[in-house]
Structure 1
Amino acid sequence: MTTEQVWKALAQIPDPEIPVVNVVEMGIVRGVEIEGNKATITMTPTFSGCPALHLIREQLERTARALGFDSVEVRTVLSPPWSTDWITPEAKERLRRYGIAPPKPSSAQDFLIELEPAPTPCPRCGSLNTSVKNTFGPTLCKAIYVCNNCQEPFEGFKTV
């Protein structure tokens, strides 16, 4: 079993909260090491208090064991903290098509200089005429917006 094969298998695990993307392209899986019949998987949750953390760990371990590894270790690493910059461009596009505005690059956010943040585009019609309705969305990593053009509410990924 090669490292590449393990990565491909882990990429089949959907994100528990956003099933149109997987845990690899979300940047949650950070590393895979193989030593003999042992696989070590390193992961960083999107937030240290992520409610899906236990489920993701279980799925990573179950997937590696299904590949034939006798020993599987899933390590959680919190430093450096997960960043929305780790989400692949393909996953960001799938988020948009799913109706969730993808995050902006974290380098585009300068909280000391930026007096008014750039608008979040509507994932449905593309309009920049949007408003934040609630900075606390259904999960810690999202906020609730409304498009003032098409009148549709939508979730937007916070840039972390």
Structure 2
Amino acid sequence: MNYLLPLFFLLILFQACSKSNPLPNEKNYQANYLAKEALAKIDFQNEELISIYMNHHFYYVRQDGKYMQTLTFDNGADPFSDGLARTKINGKIGFFNTNLEIVLKPIYDFAFPFHKGVAEICTGCKEKQAGEHTMLEGGQWQKINREGLVIE
């Protein structure tokens, strides 16, 4: 009987630790900062935000060192459109603003940039290589507004 109370507390502890996180790897949504040594090598040319290429990816970087990986578009960083750019985290597409804050969580398999407050997104689509180009197959396509709400 003396072992039941500690066993009960262990059971509660394991249950509390096993609760699923609503966002997979949510820590990836937090700000990342460049080391001071790396930041000192960047010439911002009086710009508050620039794009750089490192480790085979494009990133937007602020003067304080905060950075966010962005998609590659036409051999460069994905441009901001309607104040938002796309990022890919854990294989999903989301959107961030010029403060490098995630405003639409990366939950889409693909997303086109916003245009006049609307973006086309896909869930369930798959990438297919066609020579040097990538095509998308299948999935459910919808339009969303800047709050992430489906509008059609």
TM-score (normalised: structure 2): 0.24
Structure index of larger Rg:
2
Q: Which structure features the higher share of helix residues?
A: 1
TM-score (normalised: structure 1): 0.23
Q: Which structure features the higher share of strand residues?
A: 2
